[in-house]
Amino acid sequence: GVAARRCIGALLPALLTGSGAGRGVAEHYGGAFDVAAFSNTTYEALRPLLLEGRPFVVLDGARELPMASWNCDFVRKTFPGSRIRHEGGSASTNGVPMSSDWTAREVPFPDSARFPPGAPRNRPFYWDIAKAHEDEPERKWGQKPREVVRKIVKSSAVPYWLPQQGAEQMGQSSEMWFHPRGAGAPAHMDPHCATTVSFCFSGRRKWRMMVPPEEPHTAGYFDGHVYGMEDPKRKGEWQPTFEFEAPAGAAVVVY
């Protein structure tokens, strides 16, 4: 499937912190870790959940967006000269031609058999050309990257359920994830300094979120570190607080 993530205007006063298994988090959420789903909604209806720090799904979140019908085959045919990165490897460059048969590749992460239950086993593909091609030209973006970015930005729009803001800025901060069957990103914490919205344009995307601990681990939260693969002492640290799915056409706010 195809998923896209964009930075949006600041919607939250601060990040919620607390112990992932502690009393404070359970009390904050009233002892319930349900994830509500909405359709034909408004920002006013969603704002209380945003302020509470509770994830939710807008089932028709991509409604009427220019990218709502995009899928892997569409992207391959529309941007054949571009290149994308196969996540989970050692290279930072975009080594996969967009026009290749990458949609049929099901490549497991190294040691994925040791991942905890529910973790994705296969490596996804990643394309952040819109926000990174100018600052990181060494990553080999393929043919005419500026023209490609113009098309992506032109196809970007503000969803109906968010306050009006600059669609161009959202497009320029976007990134795309492509998930062949069984693929996904290992648990991690991104250093984004803005609230983001994730759209699922095709397929289905499973989300597993964990509230950051009150005292974060000094080694950080890079891909899969909480699984205890590199540091056995961290085994068992990954305890998802919320688990839910976003179907095609849905949107999820990541705060």
pLDDT in tens, 96-132: 999 999 999 999 999 899 999 999 999 999 999 999 9
Q: Give CA separation, 206 vs 98, 165, 203, 215, in Å.
A: 24, 28, 10, 27
The pLDDT tens digits for 136-192 are 999 999 999 999 999 999 999 999 999 999 999 999 999 999 999 899 999 998 877
pLDDT for the residue 160: 98
Cβ 184 vs Cβ 87: under 8 Å: no
Other C-beta atoms lying within 10 Å of the C-beta of residue 166: 12
Query: Among 143, 122, 141, which Cα is nearest to 130's?
Result: 141
pLDDT attached to residue 43: 96
Degrees, nearest 5: CA angle 50-51-54: 50
pLDDT tens digits along 21-45: 445 777 888 878 899 999 999 999 9
Q: Which amino acid is at 119?
A: A
Asked if 183 and 120 touch (Cβ cutoff 8 Å), the reply is yes
DSSP letter for 82, please.
Answer: B
Q: Give CA 233 to chain center in angstroms.
A: 27
pLDDT digits (tens, 9 = 90+) for 38-75: 999 999 999 999 988 889 999 999 999 999 999 999 99
